[in-house]
Amino acid sequence: MTAQLIDGNALARTIRAEVAGRTQALTARGVQPHLSIILVGDDPASQVYTRHKVNDSTETGLSATLERYPADMSEADLLARIRTLNDDPKVHGILVQLPLPKHMDSQKVIETISPAKDVDGFHIASAGALMIGAKGFWPCTPYGCMKMLESIGYQLRGKHAVVIGRSNIVGKPMAMMLLAQSATVTICHSATADLGAITRQADVIVAAVGKRNVLTADMVKPGAVVIDVGMNRNDEGKLCGDVDFEGVRQVASWITPVPGGVGPMTRAMLLVNTIEAAERQSS
């Protein structure tokens, strides 16, 4: 068996086209959907990520601004700027790029963003809404993973899903989304004792640890679906995920590549959340 690829690039293109159509409809009503991105400091990866987010927005007709601030910006000044954006009716979505400088409390910053404009889906109100099935914003990475499963017509009801990674950004929201689809969910981490004994029981495995080869072929049940959220570099400096791709693809039925898998979908779902925020605020 050689696994079929879940092409995140292709699916993201389809989603961006849908967002462009919704954006055009709002613009025709006199509403210009707008995303405000804040970058504090000069982290190289964050600079790349924010540039992509601005470009993605522009390509779909969304208006996006990137505000850059020095690493020594005070937390009080950042919170004040967020509150100003909260009160600006022309701004529909707010994203503060993580990580923040060490002198800032990331959770405090996130909680300052209005839940109505929390398009990254990290606010506690968004997490609460996800838990009870109310309207909120799903975190972009797990949201993208769910869309990928949906794209292959995968029915989660009654299936066993294992999520490797317990972070609030991916692991826990991913688990809640899977549970909402009536899957049985086990959350693990890279230090879980005999991790393979657990993953070999799984119909779906989501690897989101940030550690190369945390999932190898002998840890996967034949025919399982594998979603690789990891972003690492191999010995040659090339991007790779958490999964031993070449080995696991010989066992799994479906697998996401790195790059070209979850990454493009994360960015696409940010656009979906932003247009959704604009639609809600203008209704």
The Cα 11–Cα 15 span in angstroms is 6
Q: Which residues pair with 161 in a beta bridge?
A: 185, 204
Instruction: Report helix, strand or coil for 253.
Output: coil
Q: Which amino acid is at 49?
A: Y
3-state secondary structure of 34: strand
Residue 53 known to be catalytic: yes
DSSP code, position 43: -
Does 120 participate in catalysis according to the annotation?
A: yes
Paired tokens of 36: 């405000």
Q: How far is CA 132 from the centre of its chain?
A: 20
> Which residue among the candidates 56, 117, 118, 120 is catalytic per the annotation?
120
What's the rounded Cα separation, in Å, for the pair 4 and 128?
Answer: 35
Rounded Cα gap, residues 235 and 113, in angstroms: 39
Active site residue 117: no
SS (H, E, C) 64-125: EEEEEECCCCCHHHHHHHHHHHHCCCCCCEEEECCCCCCCCCHHHHHHHCCHHHECCCCCHH
Give the residue numbers marked as catalytic: 53, 97, 120
